[in-house]
Chain A
Amino acid sequence: MAPLQPPRRKDPLKRTRLPLLPPGQRSRAAHHLTAAAAEGRFALPRCAACGTFHFPVREACPDCLSARIEMVEAPAGATVLSQTTAEVPADNYFRERAPWRVGLVKMDAGPTALVHLHPEGIAGSRVRLALMLDRAGQAVLYAGPEQKGADPMTDPQWREMTADPLHRRVLITDARSFAAPALAKALVAAGAREVRLGLPEAWKPFAAEKLTALPGVSVVPLDLGSERSVADHVRDYGGKTEIVINTADHMRPGGALGGSLTATRDAMEAVVFDPMRLAQALAPAMIGRGADGPTGAAAWVNLLSVHALAPSPALAGWSAAQAAALAWSHSLRADLAQGGVKLLNLFCGPTDSDWFQTWPQPKVGGAAVASAAVSGLKRGLEEMFVGDVAKDIQARLAANPKAVEREMRQG
């Protein structure tokens, strides 16, 4: 399949195609698959009593009728049994994108399933399954080539389920973020058409040249705290932004009683209200461009702290701001979903930013953030844990959230 070409200049007389979504209705149990897909895991329902995998998700095991159905990591290999191409699908979303390839596969885990099938998959061929979030934000199975390193990226069906930066224009909200240089570099390497970095308080010194030396990278004034600055930016770039990477942060240490209220309010402003201001101005334009060709608006990425999920008493005010930002991001995700635009939250451990200077290693550097962001966009994920500390807290939260609360007292 030919690699995706950069989009042509848009015809200003043509109406932008409004986003349609694939059928999004699911049973409550099916959202176990959504949870796995959001993190890029391949997990299937398995009976805890007799160990049989089954699919679709059931309320009782068809082999032994146990109600103990668990989601477990499953082998992702499968063999294609049969394939077709929907030339005239009944559903409008698929009709616009037809022909659409569909296959029936026998999973190595046992069950059979309908899948979105990559272009070369035919009966008898081996495929590798992935649980993906489709444009409706719901879990679906995609069957790609089995060989390691084989790239499904050129398959338009795969692109529908991902937010690949290739040929897209990206806004990084804060050029002064510790992660900004690495993000710009990684996005350029991933083929982003433009990377725009917002520079708050542009009168303060800033060495933009290092960034703008990269092809397609620019630095423009942008104060998320200012209505006017945000409005000016959106007026110029609202229809030219397909991916937003929100790096806004304002970490100041301090406990629940000893911390500065002013610092907490500043954190709330920076982490919660500033991105809200940008989203209210920019996100409607992105939602409207969710189906604007193969490089239409695709994703909003938030750089959050893992303390949004597990507050640190030593960082009380900031943790609260992170938690507020996380809560708000779920509502933003719901709104973006109307246009098929994804929202990816990166949960980081302590970072290489100035305010974590005294924190012990391991810390998350810009390169780790950038690599996670690009990988998450390419795979269409919703949640990623970046760095060993974040992954450790994720595992501990899954096991016992109350223990994490107590353990956080020790930092």
Chain B
Amino acid sequence: MARRGYEDVVLTVPVTVPYQRYSVESTAWWAGRALAALAAGAGMSHRDFDGFSFASFSAAPDSAIGLTQHFGLSPRFLDFVPLGGVAGVVSLRRAARAVQMGDADVVACVAAETNGVHTFRYGLENFSRFSQDAVYPYGAGGPNVSFALICQNYMAQTGATREDFGKLCVAMRDNALKNPNALMKKPLTLAQYLEARAIAPPIHLFDCVMPCAGAEAFLVMREATAKAQGLPYAHLLGSIERHNAFAEDPVQMRGGWAKDMPELYAMAGTTPTGIDVVNTYDDYPFVCMMQFEDLGFCKKGEASDFVQAHDFTIAGDFPHNTCGGQLSAGQAGCGGGHMGIVEVLRQVTGQAGPTQVSGAKRGLASGFGMINFDRGLGSGAVILGGEGA
């Protein structure tokens, strides 16, 4: 069955609550700041949000439902998506259908995460059963070792090099220096990238994100509502989502995007060349390269050449992770999956300020999440279109 488009469903009010490396505030505090910013940005009361979709790893003992009372919400659509880097795409897809079908009028999609000194460690220890049984006992607490194993194989199979990864990281840092909210404030050179200390080879220091506290949020509503409020908005032109794809691959060489990519562009009525700005999920730079391939920007195994042939800065010919990505702006837990959507929403509605790509009308944001055992399970992508897209 052909998938139905999202018609008059739009995204508005991109919100980033500025990140902090560590925070003494709770996750609920960060969610509260995001909701307040959504309400202020939309010019409506938060009590008018009749849908609430919440993503977090650090909200325990609460889930989304407890937060409704905490924040005085009374939603008729409620969703909790603690799905890591794919949470943003999942949250948006569900919210869009709820609004389209009339189950809700305005859905607040919020990812919020605190980061105390020990939050990351606690999160790791309770991440998943397979991790407890078959990953942590190997000294692989945290994703670095697991991704090092995938990256090592990716490099061996495709010929991708650390220079390729470095080029992406340097471009992201360049972009981040234009984003006042990015945690990383110092320029990064390719030489610095290459000389950085090894964490778990081939993963080195600048291949790793910095966990932090922060929140990302946006509203999903009908176009008429956005117009009535005078809000700039973007249409959801296409979306895909897939979990545990290609389970037969011995080592992860591709994500679910490779399975669903034709549908993404067909739904959006465009092609990879029709995309003006791209925000991939950058937990590691080689994962960006995997997405370039799986999302059709180059052929499988050719991302190395693609990276060397393009300029990934805001002013470049392939503007990528224009806010600096997680690698240079910070990874606010589940917020990492919302970051790309929020940034692309800013870009295609002309609200990106210092990171604005001139003339960006159509943007792609992708998500990737949950290294449950030996591979990232969730993958998703959306194409957003601003005015004239």
Q: Which residue of B lies closest to A101 (CB)?
A: B139
Tell whether, in the assembled complex, residue A114 and residue B132 are in contact, meaning their CB atoms are under 8 Å apart: no
Question: How many whole Å from A410's CB to the nearest CB in chain B?
Answer: 44
Evaluate contact between A57 and B149: CB separation under 8 angstroms.
Answer: no
Chain B residue numbers with a CB within 8 Å of A56 are 129-130, 133-134, 373
Q: Are A90 and B201 in contact (CB under 8 A)?
A: no
Q: Which of A23, A82, A100 contacts B150 (CB 8 A)?
A: A82
Interface check B101, CB cutoff 8 A: no
Interface string of B189-201 (1 = CB under 8 A from A): 0000000011111
Q: Which residue of A lies closest to B205 (CB)?
A: A88
- A82 with B149, Cβ < 8 A, contacts A26-B133, A87-B199, A112-B251 known: yes
With A91-B139, A115-B138 as given contacts, are A86 and B125 in contact (CB-CB < 8 Å)? no
For residue A86, which residues in chain B have a CB less than 8 angstroms away from its CB? 139-140, 144-145, 199-200
Residue pair B200, A106 in contact (C-beta under 8 Å): no
Chain A 23-62 residues near chain B, CB threshold 8 A: 23-27, 30, 55-57, 62
A64 interface contact, C-beta 8 A:
no
Question: Does B234 sit at the interface, judged by CB under 8 A?
Answer: no
- B153 an interface residue at 8 Å Cβ cutoff? yes
- B269 part of interface (Cβ distance < 8 Å): no
B202 contacts across to A, CB distance below 8 A: 84
CA distance A116 to B136 in the complex (A): 11
Give residues of chain A (58-90) contacting chain B, Cβ–Cβ below 8 Å: 62, 81-90
Q: Are B133 and A114 in contact (CB under 8 A)?
A: no
Complex: A93 Cα to B141 Cα, angstroms:
11
Residue-wise interface mask of B (111-155) relative to A, using a CB-CB cutoff of 8 A (1 in contact, 0 not): 000000000010011000110111111111110111011101100
* A81 and B145 contact, CB distance less than 8 A: no
Chain A interface (Cβ < 8 Å from any Cβ of B): 22-27, 30, 55-57, 62, 81-91, 93-94, 98, 100, 102-104, 106, 112-116, 123, 134, 136, 138, 140
In the complex, residue of chain B having the shortest beta-carbon distance to the beta carbon of A33: B133
Which B residue's beta carbon lies closest to that of A89? B139
Select A112's contact among B125, B133, B142, B374, beta carbons within 8 Å: B374
Residue from A26, A91, A104 with most neighbouring chain B CB atoms (10 Å):
A104
Q: How far is the CA of A81 from the CA of B153 in the complex (A)?
A: 7
Task: Specify which chain B residues have a CB less than 8 angstroms from the CB of A84 in the assembled complex.
Answer: 145, 148-149, 152, 200-203
Q: A23-B132, A56-B133, A90-B121 are in contact. Are A103 and B141 (CB under 8 A)?
A: no
B251 touching A90, Cβ below 8 Å: no
Given the contacts A112-B374, A123-B156, A90 and B149 also touching, CB distance less than 8 Å = no
Residue interface mask B277-290, A partner, CB < 8 A = 1:
00000000000000
Report chain A residues within 8 Å CB of B133. 26-27, 30, 56-57
Residues from chain A with Cβ under 8 Å of B247 in the complex: 62
> For residue B152, which residue of chain A has the nearest CB?
A82
Smallest beta-carbon distance A397→chain B, Å: 28
Question: Which chain A residues lie closer than 8 Å to B149 at the CB level?
Answer: 81-84, 102-104, 114
Min CB–CB distance A109 → chain B (angstroms): 13
A104 to B153: give the CA distance in the assembly, Å.
Answer: 10
User: What's the nearest-Cβ distance from chain A to residue B152, in Å?
Assistant: 5
Closest to B154 in A: A82
- How far apart are the CA atoms of A229 and B247 in the complex, in Å? 62
A–B pairs, 10, beta carbons within 8 Å: A56-B130, A84-B201, A86-B140, A90-B121, A91-B139, A93-B139, A106-B250, A114-B374, A123-B152, A123-B153
- Highest count of chain B CB atoms <10 Å: which of A22, A30, A82: A82
Docked pose: A114 CA to B136 CA in angstroms:
10
Check B201–A87 contact: CB distance below 8 A. Answer: yes
In the complex, are the beta carbons of B138 and A116 less than 8 A apart? yes
Q: Which 8 A-B pairs have the closest CB atoms?
A: A94-B139, A84-B148, A56-B134, A23-B136, A30-B133, A82-B153, A82-B149, A104-B149
A-facing residues in B195-220 (Cβ within 8 Å)? 197-203
Cβ-closest chain A residue relative to B153: A82
Given A56-B373, A85-B200, A87-B201, decide whether A140 and B152 contact each other with a Cβ distance below 8 A: no
Contact of B251 (CB < 8 Å), options: A26, A27, A30, A81: A81
Is A90 touching B142 in the complex (CB atoms < 8 A)? yes
Taking the nearest CB of chain B, how far is it from the CB of A243, in angstroms? 24
Q: Complex: how many Å from CA A346 to CA B203?
A: 45
Question: A100 to chain B: which residues have CB within 8 Å?
Answer: 139
Residues in A neighbouring B148, C-beta threshold 8 A: 84
A85 to B197, CA, bound (A): 13
A90 and B200 within 8 A (CB): no
Q: Given contacts A56-B134, A81-B149, could you give 11 more A-B pairs where the C-beta distance is less than 8 Å?
A: A23-B125, A23-B141, A56-B129, A56-B130, A57-B133, A82-B152, A83-B152, A87-B200, A89-B142, A98-B139, A102-B200
- Which chain A residues lie closer than 8 Å to B138 at the CB level? 102, 114-116, 140
Within 8 A of A (CB), among B288-344: none
